[in-house]
């Protein structure tokens, strides 16, 4: 589980973490780092290890760049209404925030760094708040801010208090508003099959300290329900971990295979989008989630 390296980066004694199942069915890593230790780890990951250079400095193919727009296109289709106020927690490179800005939305983004947007979409800097997400959300709640659409992609698995984050987002949603929450689908039946067939070690999907919380397609809706949300749609992305069942494509046993497996995923989803429709993509992803599949899963939810 990359434990020793992770704890060396955090500057704490190497302790073997364990997964603890919570009442909603998801898993948390214990012991957990403090917020200060976690902040130091990410500072080192994004700056120290790269001699001050951003970790976003890699190139994308033309098709990968087009694929980056699939997620916001899906979100806009599920939203299905006109423009409004958008909050994105975890902006990253800024593809989603820019997509909605270009559609005429009033956009606000939150991230712990602005490196991604400065590299890809410098004009987004004026729409970005940089700092601790919990502090920034608390300030927004105190101001009584509200948003029609809240997007939180691949953030919940990283934070020390995932339920606290979801409750804060609940306090910021406007009447009739919609939440998009995306997390990895970990501890899935497909991953269990990979392990039972000796194609990967147990809990190969655990990534400490980057991921502190683990959700599958059964537990994510229960977590949302516990935080005042009602799931209105549930989608699963292409199940790239199916490649692990084939020794010729097992990218854990041969890391050099990973990039081509990724390109196959991109080609599949882009082909479905181009040759069929965004509705076809959503229907496919809906079926994946229903079957417990998808490397990433997305829940759309409204206040319950």
Per the structure, the complete domain to which residue 26 belongs is given by 3-303
CB-CB neighbours of 180 under 10 Å: 23
Binning pLDDT at 50, 70 and 90, where does residue 81 land? very high
Is the model's pTM score more than 0.95? no
Residue 110 tokens, joined: 């939150």
Average pLDDT (215-224) is 99
* 141: pLDDT strictly greater than 50: yes
CA dihedral 90, 302, 284, 157 (to 10 degrees): 40
Residue 6 tokens read as 């992770």
The band of 40, judged by pLDDT with boundaries at 50, 70 and 90, is: confident
Give me the CATH number covering residue 56.
Answer: 3.40.50.150
Query: pLDDT tens across 238-259, in order?
Result: 999 999 999 999 999 999 999 9
Confidence of residue 39 (pLDDT cuts 50, 70, 90): confident
Burial grade of 171 (CB within 10 A; 0-12, 13-18, 19 or more): middle
Name the more confident of 11 and 240. 240
Using CA atoms, how far apart are residues 9 and 14, in angstroms rounded to an integer?
10
208 vs 216, residue with greater confidence: 216
For the CA atoms of 132, 154, 253, 65, what is the dihedral angle to 10 degrees?
-110
Tokens of 230: 């009602």
Q: How far is CA 247 from CA 1, 230, 265, in A?
A: 22, 40, 18
- Among the residue ranges 7-21, 115-129, 135-149, 210-224, the one predicted with the least confidence is 7-21
Q: Three-state SS string across the chain, please?
A: CCHHHHHHHHCCCCCCCEEEECCCCCEEEECCCCHHHHHHHHHHHHCHHHCCCCCCCCCCCHHHHHHCCHHHHHHHHHHCCCCCEEEEECCCCCHHHHHHHHCCCEEEEEECCCHHHHHHCHHHHHHEEECCHHHHHHHHHHCCCCEEEEEEECCCCCCCCHHHHHHHHHHHEEEEEEEEEEEEECCCHHHHHHHHCCCCCCCCCCCCCCCCEEECCCHHHHHHHHCCEEEEEEEECCCHHHHHHCCCCCCCCCHHHHHHHHHHHHHHHHHHHHHCCHHHHHHHHHHHHHCCCCCEEEEEEEEC
Omega before 128 cis (within 30°)?
Answer: no
For residue 33, the model assigns a pLDDT of: 86
- pLDDT greater than 90 at residue 279: yes
Please state, for a pLDDT cut of 90, what percent of the chain lies above it: 84
Cα–Cα nearest to 301, from 244, 237, 219, 231: 231
pLDDT classification of 152: cutoffs 50, 70, 90: very high
State the total domains in the chain.
Answer: 1
Mean pLDDT along residues 199-212: 95
- Residue 137's φ and ψ, nearest 5 degrees, are -70, -40
Q: Rg of the Cα trace of the chain?
A: 19
Instruction: Say if residue 288's pLDDT is above 60.
Output: yes
- Measured CA to CA in angstroms, residue 12 lies from 7, 31, 35, 139, 160 at distances of 6, 11, 13, 31, 17
Q: What is the mean predicted confidence (pLDDT) over 261-281?
A: 99
């Amino acid at each position: 589980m990359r434990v020793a390296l992770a704890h060396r980066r955090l500057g704490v004694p190497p302790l073997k973490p364990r997964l603890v199942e919570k009442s909603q069915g998801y898993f948390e890593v214990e012991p957990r780092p403090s917020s200060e230790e976690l902040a130091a780890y990410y500072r080192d990951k994004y700056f120290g290890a790269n001699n001050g250079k951003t970790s976003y400095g890699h190139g994308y193919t033309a098709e990968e760049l087009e694929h980056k727009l699939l997620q916001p296109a899906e979100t806009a289709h599920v939203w299905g209404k006109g423009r409004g106020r958008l909050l994105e927690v975890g902006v990253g490179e800024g593809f989603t925030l820019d997509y909605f800005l270009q559609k005429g939305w009033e956009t606000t983004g939150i991230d712990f760094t602005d490196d991604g947007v400065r590299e890809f979409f410098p004009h987004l800097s004026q729409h970005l708040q940089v700092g601790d997400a919990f502090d920034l959300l608390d300030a927004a709640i105190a101001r009584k801010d509200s948003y029609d659409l809240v997007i939180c992609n691949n953030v919940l698995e990283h934070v020390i208090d995932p339920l606290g984050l979801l409750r804060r987002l609940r306090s910021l949603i406007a009447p009739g508003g919609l939440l998009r929450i995306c997390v990895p689908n970990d501890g899935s039946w497909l991953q269990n099959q990979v392990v039972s067939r000796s194609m990967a070690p147990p809990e190969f999907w655990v990534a400490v300290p980057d991921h502190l919380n683990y959700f599958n397609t059964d537990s994510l809706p229960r977590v949302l329900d516990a935080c005042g949300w009602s799931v209105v749609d549930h989608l699963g992305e292409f199940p790239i971990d199916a490649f692990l069942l084939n020794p010729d494509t097992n990218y854990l046993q041969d890391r050099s295979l990973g990039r081509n497996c990724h390109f196959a995923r991109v080609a599949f989803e882009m082909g479905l989008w181009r040759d069929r429709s965004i509705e076809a993509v959503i229907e496919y992803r809906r079926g994946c989630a229903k079957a417990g599949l998808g490397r990433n899963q997305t829940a759309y939810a409204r206040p319950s």
